[in-house]
Amino acid sequence: MSASDTLSQPAPRPPMVKGLPLIGSTLEMAKNPARFFVRCYHDYGPAFRVRVFGNTLTVIAGAEAATFMGTREGKESLRSKEAWEPLMQEFGASKMLTAEDGDLHKQLRTVMKRGFSKDSIKGRYNEILKITEESLLRDWLPGNEVGVVQAMQYLVVDQLGSVLTGSVPRAYVKDIRTTILYILNVLVTRQRPKFLMHLPEYKRAKKRMFELGRQMVADYHARPGDTPDEFKTLIDDVMEAHQNDPALIPDSDLVMLMTSPYVAGLDTVANTTAAIVYTVLKHPDVLKRVHEEVDALFAKGPVNEETFMKDLPVLNGAIMETMRLYPIAVAQIRTAAKDFVFQGYQIKEGEMIYLGTSVPHFLEEFYPNPDTFDVDRYSKERAEHMQIGSYSPYGRGHHTCLGKSLAEVLLAMTMAEVFYKLDFELESPHYVLKTKTAPTPGPAMNFKVRVKGYRH
Ligand code: HEM
């Protein structure tokens, strides 16, 4: 075959993963999507197709996929609209950050950047610690067995409510959680059938979530005078942008935008913090080192902006290691915006694509003994996560988590306070975490710890 013949050959389609008759790989993927993608990556390489839930999905995975997302070619080849459009329609909104690409995406990101970043909590670290402590004293009572994910959900609403929106809607936690559960399961990840959206449980929760969003708008209008810059929240930024440019942020989009911190932050942070409780309690040597670190930190008195990221290498190592092993975003969902070739395989315009950016988290070539919980991987000397494409808990490319800087510091603060304050243990030292996969992967809702007392 001549070189020109080779050039004119179309690239092959990604191989089809062998599955069971009729259901394909549905069961294996539903059980543990992260491990399923790793298995397929080992067996088939960085591009493959899987039959799940009656559909064929194209998956591109590994460091190759993570790197691709950050390139110009990746940006031009991948589109977000289809994945998130049903959510947008459900909220009656005209556009949303996660569903847009290009200039409109940039404009929306600019409006929300400050409010979602760690700048939004500048100078408020001691206040947030207090909120965290109060939440622990309320929901983690000595002598009780505490459901960790749910307790963390309340804690996160306390924190995000005060920091990002200026009010704490504890009474709405269940409604927010139910709405997110149905929307993500049915409309975004499409792991559950559409008829579920007609169930009274969902309809009631959605109505309450809308009530919350409208109340937040009303509260903003009821506030007297100009809020000084240092007290402005995401809500102020969104409302000001709405007033200055109603074409960009029309009335119809406000409810979705007001409640967006919860949609983006509630399950992500609650699941991650719950997983950190498990990994650290499961490793007494790490727990001991974390105790030494947080006790020394709080013995010094009030904390400042730098403290949590610089003075807690073991705790931050435990957080990063947990996010490696229990990523809440196993894959990102996109649509092929055009025909393109990835790693020698033909991807066709309009195909739904899963980008398995968490696959490298489990590869020996990046993380020796990948199943071992090793909090020192992230030290300056080892920096295993700095290898290209190896670590993507916050996603990749232009949709990378806008709340990343805020999430990093909130995670460190929350876990510092949790391990400083609580004397608690797993049901048994042999307990092995059960996980759920829908809507967001994380510890199962029945994961419990026993609170023995308070350390301080
Ligand atoms: C453990 C904590 C968190 C993790 C692991 C996480 C992870 C992610 C990931 C993977 C994405 C990209 C999704 C995609 O590309 O399709 C994302 C996007 C986003 N996250 Fe987070 N997130 C976390 C917490 C938060 C918090 C606390 C907020 C704010 C309250 C937030 C706000 C956002 C926003 C606004 C986007 C959309 C960005 C865009 O489309 O341009 N996240 N997050």
Q: pLDDT (tens digit, 9 = 90+) per residue, 191-218?
A: 788 899 999 999 999 999 999 999 999 9
Tell me how far the alpha carbon of residue 403 lies from the centroid of ligand 1, in angstroms: 6
> Which residue CA neighbors atom 27 of ligand 1 most closely?
265
> Which residue CA neighbors atom 15 of ligand 1 most closely?
399
Residue spans per domain, the chain: 3-454
Mean pLDDT score of the chain: 92
CATH class of 3-454: mainly alpha
The most confident of 75-89, 113-127, 162-176, by mean pLDDT: 75-89
Q: Sorting pLDDT into bands at 50, 70 and 90, what band is 1?
A: very low
Tell me how far the alpha carbon of residue 265 lies from the centroid of ligand 1, in angstroms: 7
Whole-angstrom Cα distance, residue 66 to residue 71? 9
| pLDDT confidence of residue 44 | 98
> pLDDT (tens digit, 9 = 90+) per residue, 30-60?
889 999 999 999 999 999 999 987 789 999 9
| pLDDT confidence of residue 7 | 56
Q: Max Cα separation, the chain?
A: 78
Q: What is the pTM of this model?
A: 0.95
Q: Which of 162, 268, 326 to mutate to test the pocket of ligand 1 (most atoms within 8 A of CB)?
A: 268
Q: Sorting pLDDT into bands at 50, 70 and 90, what band is 4?
A: very low
* Residue 429, CB-side half-sphere exposure with 13 Å CA sphere: 4
Tell me how far the alpha carbon of residue 261 lies from the centroid of ligand 1, in angstroms: 9
> pLDDT (tens digit, 9 = 90+) per residue, 292-349?
999 999 998 888 777 888 899 999 999 999 999 999 999 999 999 999 999 999 999 9
Whole-angstrom Cα distance, residue 154 to residue 152? 5
Residue 148 has pLDDT above 70, yes or no: yes
Residue 166 has pLDDT above 80, yes or no: no
> Which residue CA neighbors atom 6 of ligand 1 most closely?
394
Crossing angle of helices 404-421 and 313-325, in 10° steps, is 110
Residue 252 has pLDDT above 90, yes or no: yes
> pLDDT (tens digit, 9 = 90+) per residue, 346-357?
999 999 999 999
Whole-angstrom Cα distance, residue 267 to residue 233? 21
Residue written as token pair 């950190």: 276
Q: Which of 401, 408, 414 to mutate to test the pocket of ligand 1 (most atoms within 8 A of CB)?
A: 401
Tell me what percent of the residues of the chain surpass a pLDDT of 70: 98
| pLDDT confidence of residue 2 | 40
DSSP 442: E
Q: Sorting pLDDT into bands at 50, 70 and 90, what band is 240?
A: very high
Helix (H, G, I), strand (E, B) or coil at 396: coil
Atom number in ligand 1 closest to CA 334? 16
Residue 260 has pLDDT above 70, yes or no: yes
Whole-angstrom Cα distance, residue 196 to residue 194? 5
Ligand 1 contacts (CB < 6 A) are 97-98, 109, 116, 160, 164, 261, 264-265, 268-269, 272, 328-329, 332, 393-395, 399, 401-403, 406-407
